[in-house]
């Protein structure tokens, strides 16, 4: 059983960033009214020892920062420490370059495996490429969330092995928003991976929005950055064509969706997010499919947001810590 240490925040909805975006806050009245406070996030992964929390807190406080909330995870009988801090600071008093240096010093002090700091108001948004096949539901959902400002990313391109006509909803949307669309016809012999790599060189991570192609180990190694995938969960599992129809005909009572990192082993990468929903004899095939697709949309979007908010850390060989 894992031991979880937690410091609670007095700020409401700390764990609900979908409802509260990162904004700058101005101090009310008086001589401080010209100061603008900004949110920062810091994640830390290092061997466990006494004093880590104290040093992290001291680092932020010594620069005039204020910790709004912190999550800490120390697995039982394992010499490893994980933390995620959200804090408020004045970028004039604590410049971004100085912040990087301060956290780097802490990283060296504790021999950290990972120390990442992000200031959403100041740092560039994550650049992503989206890969999709014929099904539109996840792709369209991500595009609309992006347009509404609910996904803190910059979409550099959409790549598909399915050709969409010039007057389709997706193409019209992409054209209005100046997002390139690349159609690459794939075959079993040629997955066009070299061309895909050229198109996504400048991205920070990739999203497979129901991309019905297997990325090779060579592609993953060459790309060298994270790839996030979504797939359905129909219990029991159904292989082959039209799995939703198979599951419906079998009368399953529970469906779900899993978002995970892509590895060489098919659909076996570390899990970021999972969602489930019950179905019943009252569902017809149409409502069954709608429920399944809705879970996939929600699950993928939540996984992406968690990733962008630095909530996801690798744990052991094939697991994740998700704060």
Q: What number is the average pLDDT over the span 64-85? A: 96
Cα–Cα distance, 51 to 126 (Å, whole number): 33
User: In this predicted structure, what is the pLDDT of residue 99?
Assistant: 98
229: helix, strand or coil: strand
User: In this predicted structure, what is the pLDDT of residue 209?
Assistant: 97
Cα–Cα distance, 212 to 296 (Å, whole number): 14
**Token pair in block for residue 74:** 């120390």
Under the banding of pLDDT at 50, 70 and 90, the label for residue 9 is very low
Q: Kindly provide the residue ranges of all beta strands, DSSP E only, lying in 90-175, ordered along the sequence.
A: 114-118, 126-132, 153-160
Query: With 0-12 CB in 10 A as exposed, 13-18 as middle and 19+ as buried, what is 312?
Result: buried
Kindly report, residue by residue over 12-59, the tens digit of the pLDDT. Answer: 222 232 333 333 344 444 334 446 899 999 999 999 999 999 999 999
Q: pLDDT at residue 85 above 70?
A: yes
67: helix, strand or coil: strand
Q: What number is the average pLDDT over the span 156-178? A: 95
**Inter-axis angle of helices 137-147 and 285-308, nearest 10:** 50
Cα–Cα distance, 235 to 255 (Å, whole number): 6
Cα–Cα distance, 120 to 82 (Å, whole number): 21
Cα–Cα distance, 273 to 229 (Å, whole number): 10
**Hey, which of 31-35, 243-247, 308-312 has the most confident mean pLDDT?**
308-312
How many other C-beta atoms are found inside a 10 Å radius of the C-beta of residue 15? 12
The angle subtended at Cα 322 by Cα 320 and Cα 323, nearest 5°, is 150
Catalytic residue annotation: 267
The CA-to-CA distance between both ends of the chain, in Å, stands at 17
Q: Return the minimum-mean-pLDDT range out of 95-99, 165-169, 217-221, 241-245.
A: 241-245
DSSP string, 76-101: TTS--EEEEEEEEE-TTTS-HHHHHH
Q: pLDDT at residue 225 above 60?
A: yes
User: In this predicted structure, what is the pLDDT of residue 267?
Assistant: 79
Instruction: Give the residue among 80, 114, 66, 87 at the shortest CA–CA distance from 4.
Output: 80
What are all long-range contacts of 216-220, with beta carbons under 8 Å and residues at least 24 apart?
216/191, 216/264, 217/264, 218/193, 219/191, 219/193, 220/262, 220/263, 220/264
User: In this predicted structure, what is the pLDDT of residue 35?
Assistant: 60
User: In this predicted structure, what is the pLDDT of residue 8?
Assistant: 34
Kindly report, residue by residue over 171-201, the tens digit of the pLDDT. Answer: 999 999 999 999 999 998 999 999 999 999 9
Q: How far is CA 82 from CA 42, 121, 211, in A?
A: 11, 24, 33
How many other C-beta atoms are found inside a 10 Å radius of the C-beta of residue 176? 9
Beta-carbon-side half-sphere exposure of residue 122 (alpha carbons within 13 Å): 19
| Domains of the chain and any CATH numbers | 38-118 (3.30.70.260), 126-322 (3.40.50.170)
Q: What number is the average pLDDT over the span 300-310? A: 97
Q: What are phi and psi of 75, to 5 degrees?
A: -60, 140
Quick one: CA torsion of 91, 93, 98, 99, rounded to 10 degrees? -50
User: In this predicted structure, what is the pLDDT of residue 237?
Assistant: 81
CA 60 to mean position of chain CA atoms = 25
pTM of the model: 0.86
The mean pLDDT value of the chain amounts to 89
Cα–Cα distance, 199 to 263 (Å, whole number): 20
Residue found under tokens 């992503």: 128
Do residues 68 and 14 lie in contact, with contact meaning Cβ atoms separated by under 8 Å? yes
């Amino acid at each position: 059983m894992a031991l979880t240490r937690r410091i609670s925040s007095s700020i409401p909805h700390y764990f609900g960033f979908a409802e509260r975006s990162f904004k700058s806050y101005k101090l009310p009245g008086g001589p401080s009214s010209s100061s603008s406070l900004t949110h920062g996030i810091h994640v830390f992964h290092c061997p466990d020892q006494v004093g880590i929390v104290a040093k992290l807190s001291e680092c932020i406080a010594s620069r005039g920062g204020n910790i709004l909330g912190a999550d800490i995870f120390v697995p039982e009988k394992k010499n490893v420490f994980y933390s995620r801090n959200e804090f408020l600071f004045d970028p004039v008093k604590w410049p971004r370059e100085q912040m990087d240096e301060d956290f780097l010093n802490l990283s060296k002090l504790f021999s950290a495996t990972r120390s990442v700091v992000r200031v959403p108001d100041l740092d560039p948004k994550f650049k992503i490429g989206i890969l999709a096949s014929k099904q539109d539901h996840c792709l369209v959902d991500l595009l609309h969330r992006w347009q509404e400002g609910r996904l803190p990313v910059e979409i550099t391109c959409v790549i598909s092995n399915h050709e969409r006509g010039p007057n389709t909803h997706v193409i019209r949307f992409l054209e209005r928003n100046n997002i390139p669309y690349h159609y690459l016809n794939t075959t079993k012999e040629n997955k066009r991976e070299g061309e895909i790599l050229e198109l996504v060189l400048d991205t920070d991570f990739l999203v497979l929005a129901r991309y019905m192609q297997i990325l090779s180990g060579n592609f993953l190694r060459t790309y060298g950055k994270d790839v996030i995938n979504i797939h359905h969960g129909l219990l029991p599992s159904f292989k082959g064509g039209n799995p939703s129809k198979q599951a419906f005909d079998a009368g399953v009572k529970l469906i779900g969706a899993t978002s995970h990192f892509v590895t060489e082993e098919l659909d076996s990468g570390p899990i970021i997010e999972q969602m489930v929903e019950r179905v019943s004899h009252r569902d017809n095939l149409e409502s069954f499919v709608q429920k399944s697709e809705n879970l996939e949309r929600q699950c993928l979007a939540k996984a992406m947001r968690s990733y962008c908010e630095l909530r996801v850390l690798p744990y052991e060989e094939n697991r994740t810590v998700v704060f």
